[in-house]
Amino acid sequence: MTQGSVVDPRPAQVRAALAPQEWDVIVVGGGASGLGSAVEAATRGHSVLLLEGHDYAKGTSSRSTKLVHGGVRYLAQGNVSLVREALHERGLLRKNAPHLVRDLGFVVPAYDWWAAPFYGIGLKMYDVLAGKLNLGSSTYLDRDKVLSRVSTYKEKGLRGGILYFDGQFDDARLAVTLLRTLEDFGGVALNYAPVIGLIKDGEQVRGVRFRDEESGQEHEARAKIVVNATGVWVDDIRRMEDPTVKPMLSPSQGVHVVVEKKFLPGDSAIMIPRTDDGRVLFAVPWHDHVVIGTTDTPVPQADFEPHALEEEVEFILRTAGRYMDPAPGRADVLSVYAGLRPLVKNEKSDGAGSTAALSRDHVIRISKGNLITLTGGKWTTYRRMGEDTINRAEKLGGLPERLTITPGLHLHGWSEDERPDHWKVYGNDAERVQQLPGADAQLHPDLPYSEAELRWAVRHESARTVEDVLARRTRSILLGARASMEAAPRAAAILAEELGKDAAWQAQQVEAYRQVASGYVL
């Protein structure tokens, strides 16, 4: 396709969303849980419309620790069933998306005589729970082997450590991959299409009213069943059906900082098993940088751009400094990001469904009008969340009940080819991306991305804004928030070419992006 023949894909997406039909399933929300549910429904042969009010993975689903993991912390809490399920799903995702998920070794340091045997026993249990899908066996390391894997651990008092394995991924790129997979199976998705109301037949929820943010026009879509998978905003949708409904969630904020690779050279990650607040702390190599986190801070309400608190950043740097030499300081932070966890309150409400699950389990709640609300959970178990949700949807919506195929479903772009890190996330689409104009033009000297990737994001991945391409289609905002702001004018120019926008649109986009990205700078 030449530049001159580029056609904006959105009008066709809007037409598809407005098809005069009753959908089998409408999914509200384009994060991990919504995309997982939509892919599950589409692969079973149901007609699916997914509506996202902002961009795919705009919220929590692009702000994780970048781990596909069973949750060693939950094992310590005694939640064996959650860990077993997550380890099983970790193994499936590793097989179904090898272009996005890789094995990663974690080194747990032992500075006390009891630490290595204590953590070693727990991590052997982790191996056992993973069964045939285990990524690698945990082993004891002597002091020299610990330092050969993590040369920046503080040497004083170090006795040895434990090596165990988990998975690592790119969260926003997995969201885009699920979007493409949904479309491969005939599903329809539209971003920047917030749901503004529910359609009811009597008490039954039978559809949604939504607004196309680009045109300002409002539309209706009807379905046999509606799934509310809006993460930390599920209560907003629930109140559209019943304004008196009690809130389900107590959101919690998790913060991460991103620093240069020199603070964790090599291919191994760090796991500190016990911090001052009772969490674990990770330092993880990611896209030739290092992600360090996280925190667990209750927040009174959900915000589309949550910001790290000073004390959260201080906690992360202080804890990292106890174990790492050299220790990263404030001046070394390239980006800081915050995400909100949709933690379900531990009390029964509405008399429907169980909310007594431990907070990291996913919960499905059915309303009087058969609105299905899915929340909680985490990226690792996105597929199982979708399977459980569509099992319920089939029964409640009178849909044909079909077996899931997603445990063995190769996601869009599936490829085991080894490619340079940032090209690998495209899987077998990488060659097509590299054929576009600008494949050899680097977007910014401090970022690994090419101009061609932005064109691909607009043409094939539903990107609409500078933020979409710099925060989620590429991960520029995380790898260097300041560098990404410097790249914003060129990104706006490329998007304007692709979408037929004028200079005023470009200026507005750059300013809007700078406002967002400034929140990622310390």
Q: 13 with 97, same domain?
A: no
Given 408, 429, 450, the domain boundary residue is 408
Q: 193 with 144, same domain?
A: no
Q: 45 with 177, same domain?
A: yes
| Portion of the chain with pLDDT greater than 90, in percent | 85
Q: Specify whether the CB–CB gap between 416 and 101 falls below 8 A.
A: no
Residue 272 DSSP SS3: strand
Q: 307 with 350, same domain?
A: no
DSSP 443: S
Q: 156 with 97, same domain?
A: yes
The H or E element that residue 163 is part of is: strand 160-169
| Chain centre distance of CA 144 | 36
- The per-residue pLDDT for 346 is 73
Domain count, the chain: 3
- Position 276 pLDDT exceeds 90: no
Task: Note down the domain range covering 111.
Answer: 88-167+250-341
- The per-residue pLDDT for 75 is 78
Q: What are the backbone dihedrals phi and psi of residue 309, each rounded to the nearest 5 degrees, phi first? A: -80, 150
- Position 4 pLDDT exceeds 60: no
- Position 82 pLDDT exceeds 50: yes
Q: What angle do CA 14, 20, 25 make, to 5 degrees?
A: 80
For residue 75, give the nearest of 118, 45, 33 by alpha carbon. Answer: 118
Q: What are the E-state strand segments in 170-315? A: 188-190, 195-201, 204-211, 218-228, 252-260, 269-272, 281-286, 289-293, 297-298
Rounded Cα–Cα distance for residues 47 and 24 (Å):
5
- Does residue 72 form part of some domain? no
Q: Specify whether the CB–CB gap between 376 and 363 falls below 8 A.
A: yes
Q: What is the mean pLDDT of residues 365-380?
A: 96
Given 408, 430, 453, the domain boundary residue is 408
Listing DSSP states for 317-340 in one string gives: HHHHHHHBSSPP-GGG-SEEEEEE
Q: 242 with 302, same domain?
A: no
- The per-residue pLDDT for 275 is 81
Give the model confidence (pLDDT) of 114-161 as tens digits.
989 999 999 999 999 998 999 899 999 999 999 999 999 999 999 999
Rounded Cα–Cα distance for residues 140 and 119 (Å):
10
CATH of the domain at 276: 3.30.9.10
Taking the model in full, what pTM does it have? 0.96
Place of tokens 């692709």: 498
Query: What's the mean pLDDT when you consider all of the chain?
Result: 94
Q: What is the mean pLDDT of residues 250-277?
A: 93
Q: What is the mean pLDDT of residues 267-275?
A: 91
Q: What is the mean pLDDT of residues 216-235?
A: 98
Q: Specify whether the CB–CB gap between 371 and 241 falls below 8 A.
A: yes
Q: 435 with 512, same domain?
A: yes
Q: 143 with 36, same domain?
A: no
Given 306, 322, 341, the domain boundary residue is 341
Give the model confidence (pLDDT) of 279-337 as tens digits.
789 999 999 999 999 999 999 888 899 999 999 999 999 999 999 999 999 999 999 99
| Distance (Å) of CA 381 to CA 39, 184, 220, 367 | 14, 22, 31, 23
CATH of the domain at 441: 1.10.8.870
Categorize the per-residue pLDDT at 358 as very low, low, confident or very high, splitting at 50, 70 and 90: very low
- The per-residue pLDDT for 360 is 66
User: What are the structure tokens assigned to 133, written together?
Assistant: 């899908």
Q: What are the backbone dihedrals phi and psi of residue 24, each rounded to the nearest 5 degrees, phi first? A: -65, -45
3-state helix, strand, coil in the chain (%, to 5): 40, 20, 35
- Does residue 76 form part of some domain? no
- Position 13 pLDDT exceeds 80: yes
Give the model confidence (pLDDT) of 337-350 as tens digits.
999 999 998 755 44
- Does residue 39 form part of some domain? yes
Listing DSSP states for 447-504 in one string gives: S--BHHHHHHHHHHS---SHHIIIIIIS-HHHH-HHHHHHHHHHHHHHHHHHHT--HH
Rounded Cα–Cα distance for residues 153 and 327 (Å):
9
- The per-residue pLDDT for 277 is 72
- Position 377 pLDDT exceeds 60: yes
Rounded Cα–Cα distance for residues 5 and 269 (Å):
46
- Does residue 361 form part of some domain? yes
- The per-residue pLDDT for 280 is 87
Q: 198 with 262, same domain?
A: no
Q: 38 with 154, same domain?
A: no
Q: Which residues 6+ apart lie within 8 Å of 244 measured at CB?
A: none
- Does residue 114 form part of some domain? yes
- Does residue 360 form part of some domain? yes
CA atoms within 13 A on the CB side of 5: 3
Residue type at 252 in one-letter notation: S
Q: 53 with 178, same domain?
A: yes
Give the model confidence (pLDDT) of 402-454 as tens digits.
999 999 999 999 999 988 878 999 999 999 999 999 999 999 999 999 999 99
- Does residue 104 form part of some domain? yes
| Portion of the chain with pLDDT greater than 70, in percent | 96
CATH of the domain at 212: 3.50.50.60
Q: 133 with 281, same domain?
A: yes
- Does residue 228 form part of some domain? yes
Rounded Cα–Cα distance for residues 315 and 276 (Å):
9
- The per-residue pLDDT for 347 is 57
- The per-residue pLDDT for 354 is 28
